[in-house]
Structure 1
Amino acid sequence: MSSEPWGRVDETGTVYVRTADGEKVVGSWQAGSPDEALAYFERKFEGLVVEIELLERRVKTTDLSAKDATTAIGHLREQVDAGHAVGDLASLSGRLDELTGVVDARREERKAARARQSEEARGAKEALVAEAEELAASDQWRTAGERLRGLVDTWKGLPRLDRKTDDELWHRFSQARSAFSKRRKAHFAALDTQREDTRRRKEKLIAEAEALSDSTDWGTTAARYRDLMREWKAAGRAQRDAEEDLWARFRAAQDVFFQARGSTFAERDAEQRDNLARKEELAAEAEKLLPITDLRAARAALRSIGERWEAIGHVPRDARPAIEGRMGAVDRAVSEAEETEWRRTNPEARARAAGLTGQLQDAVDRLRQQAEKARAAGNTAKADKLEQELAGRQALLDQALKGLAEFGG
């Protein structure tokens, strides 16, 4: 019989292992010595030790799932409990118990992590739903549409929740997207209708613009084109593919008119510049009549100049005040000379001037005598007053005598 601290072999070849509950039969050995039998079953024990160590290392250093780890522990525990090895089986059971505790703790940690992850995912999805529902009422079609597409991508990247919660949140999320899509579709449908109305309005404006393009009523037509342009801008925009063509047609009709008007105005401006040069020559000819020494000759010459002036026609508007001012100055000079001549030769006017002069002379003589008498009498105040009045009448007399002299004496 052979014996070791953890087992023995009896004379029949039966191998035993010692445990806290007593000896247990491990197996039988008939092929060799008892020592070989013990060595064989001790190697089986060492094999179990290696397997447990490997499992401990996997549990501690890899992401082995709790389920797989528990299955492996159960498999090893069956082998240890079966007792087909010689060694400290209790220590192996203890290590398996300890490893079971580690796996259970790991399971709880992962369960808690999944719960946290699920709660975070729930919060993230609820936030996505809230934002989607807010965007559903937005009129920023492009920005909101792009953002909603981004929210879908974000949603897909989040973990799934329990089926009921996940389905409820997804239903709200989908409803918000659908509501936005329906509103956007209705908006652009209305916009298409509006743009079609705009296209028809602009077609009418183009028709009128084209009908006016050969008009020669420059002022009225140009004003109407300005009105058409205001109506065009107020009409809004047609469909994108039509707007550019509509504008080209509208602009082309205007260009025909304004180019024709420009050519006409260019010819007119050239003619008016020529007219200005001719009128400047006449103005210079008229200015040579100044100062007027022979009224009759000056009047005749100015009449001739005026007839030629009227025959010339218009000059550029910005030059009109200056050139007409020069002729006006000569005309006024002739008119003033005529008025002076008329006053000088008018017998009625001369008689009125002589009568007024005589009346003023009598008044001056009378006031002078009264002032002299007052001063001789020592009445200085009265004399001063009379002399002031005398000065005023004398000034009037001087003016009257000057006017009378214009009548030739």
Structure 2
Amino acid sequence: MSSEPWGRVDETGTVYVRTADGEKAVGSWQAGSPEEALAYFERKYEGLVVEVDLLERRVRTTDLAAKDAMTAIGHLREQVAEANAVGDLAALARRLDELVALVESRREERKAARARQSEEARAAKDALVAEAEQLAVSDQWRTAGERLRALVDTWKGLPRLDRKTDDELWHRFSQARSAFSKRRKSHFAALDSQRDETKRRKEKLIAEAEALADSTDWVTTAARYRDLMQDWKAAGRAHRDVEEDLWARFRAAQDVFFQARSGAFAERDAEQRDNLARKEELAAEAEKLLPITDIKAARAALRSIGERWEAIGHVPRDARAAIEARMHAVERAVAEAEEVEWRRTNPEARARAAGLTGQLQDAVNRLREQAERARAQGNTAKAEKLEQELAGRQALLDQALKGLQEFGG
């Protein structure tokens, strides 16, 4: 008889495997030695070990579905239970039990992962719906439209939820898109109508601009063209395919007028430059009257110059202030000379100035005496007050004396 830790062969050639429940006959061996019999049945056990190893590797390293894994484990468990093999069959059974526990653990993990994924998908779809509903009231037609299309692509990439929840969210999402599309369609329909009206308004503006093109009323017509331009801008834009042509016609009518005006202004400018040269000669003639020595002769000469000045006409606008300033300077000098002469020879004004000067001199003398008396009496405060008043009156007296001197006396 021959035996090993996990089995033995008896005198009749029967092969037994040892288990926790006792020995179990697994076969009969008549063709060779007991050792060869045990080796044969041990190789059968090793085949089971290989199958358990392979199943463990599949479960641990692949995405084998739990249902398929449990089926494979059950099938292998039956093979182990019914195996005619010699070896630690209990160890193989324990390994299969552990593998069942691992599959169950994986099943729970995947279940939890699916729950998390579902929750994340629900949150993501809620966010998509909320954003779509915000975009549904947007007036940014292009940006919002592109974003809604992007949201649809994002939605398609998310996992499905349970049918009821998924259908409810999709209904809200679809409603938001439909509301935006309806508003956008209505907006562009109104915009088309508005642009048709804009075209009609601009055609009227063009007709008026073309009617004014030959006008020679430069100021009034130029002002009207400015008003037409403001009306053009306020009218908005017509359809893209006609806007450029409308603008070209409108601008062409203005160009006819403004080119004609430019030609007329060029002639006017040449005339005004000639006028400027003539007025510069008159200004130089007037400036030779300075300084004024003979007021009567200067006034007569200035009158003659002024008459010739007025007969000349306009000069260029940018030179007008400077040339007129030269003449005004001479006119002021003559007027000031006349004023000085009048004041100098006016007896009534001289008498009034002399009377005022006398009054001020009397007041100064009186205040000086009062101040000296107060200081002599030791009344310093009164003296200082009188001296302040005296200083003010003295200043007025000095000014009056200066004015009196202008009368030559």
The TM-score normalised by the length of structure 2 is 0.70
Q: Give 1:47 shift.
A: 1.7
Matches within 5 A, 1:53-202: 53-202=53-202
Matches within 5 A, 1:178-257: 178-257=178-257
Q: What residue identity is the alignment partner of 1:238?
A: A
| 1:221/1:324 CA distance change after superposition, 3 Å | farther
Q: Give 1:328 shift.
A: 7.2
Q: Sequence identity of aligned pairs in percent?
A: 81
Q: What residue identity is the alignment partner of 2:133?
A: E
- For the residues of structure 1 that align with 2:253 and 2:211, how far apart are their CA atoms? 8
- For the residues of structure 1 that align with 2:184 and 2:13, how far apart are their CA atoms? 91
Conservation of the 8 A alpha-carbon contact between 1:286 and 1:330: no
- For the residues of structure 1 that align with 2:164 and 2:23, how far apart are their CA atoms? 57
Q: What residue identity is the alignment partner of 2:234?
A: A
Match of 2:402 in 1: none
Conservation of the 8 A alpha-carbon contact between 1:287 and 1:330: no
| 1:313/1:101 CA distance change after superposition, 3 Å | closer
Match of 1:272 in 2: 272
Matches within 5 A, 1:311-326: 312-316=312-316, 318=320, 321-322=324-325
- Is the counterpart of residue 47 in structure 1 residue 47 in structure 2? yes
Alignment deviations for residues 3-40 of structure 1 (CA, whole Å, 9 cap, x no partner) = 44433345554433233334433233344333322211
Alignment deviations for residues 85-134 of structure 1 (CA, whole Å, 9 cap, x no partner) = 11222221122112111111111111111111111111111111111112
Which sits farther off after the overlay, 137-146 or 226-235? 137-146
Match of 1:365 in 2: none
Alignment deviations for residues 66-94 of structure 1 (CA, whole Å, 9 cap, x no partner) = 23322221221111011221122222112
- For the residues of structure 1 that align with 2:59 and 2:274, how far apart are their CA atoms? 110
| 1:94/1:293 CA distance change after superposition, 3 Å | closer
Question: Which runs of no fewer than 5 residues in structure 1 stay unpaired?
Answer: 341-355, 357-401, 403-409
Q: Give 1:227 shift.
A: 0.7
Conservation of the 8 A alpha-carbon contact between 2:295 and 2:334: no
| 1:74/1:281 CA distance change after superposition, 3 Å | same
| 1:283/1:60 CA distance change after superposition, 3 Å | closer
- For the residues of structure 2 that align with 1:90 and 1:104, how far apart are their CA atoms? 21
- For the residues of structure 2 that align with 1:35 and 1:326, how far apart are their CA atoms? 146
Q: Give 1:43 shift.
A: 0.9
SS of corresponding position for 2:139: coil
- For the residues of structure 2 that align with 1:102 and 1:293, how far apart are their CA atoms? 128
Q: Give 1:264 shift.
A: 0.6
Aligned length: 336
Conservation of the 8 A alpha-carbon contact between 1:136 and 1:176: yes
Structure with max Cα Rg: 1
| 1:265/1:33 CA distance change after superposition, 3 Å | same
Q: What residue identity is the alignment partner of 2:178?
A: S
- For the residues of structure 1 that align with 2:101 and 2:307, how far apart are their CA atoms? 130
The TM-score normalised by the length of structure 1 is 0.70
SS of corresponding position for 1:36: helix
- For the residues of structure 2 that align with 1:143 and 1:134, how far apart are their CA atoms? 13
- For the residues of structure 2 that align with 1:74 and 1:109, how far apart are their CA atoms? 21
- For the residues of structure 1 that align with 2:296 and 2:25, how far apart are their CA atoms? 168
Q: Give 1:214 shift.
A: 1.6
- For the residues of structure 2 that align with 1:194 and 1:114, how far apart are their CA atoms? 54
Question: Which runs of no fewer than 5 residues in structure 2 stay unpaired?
Answer: 343-347, 349-406
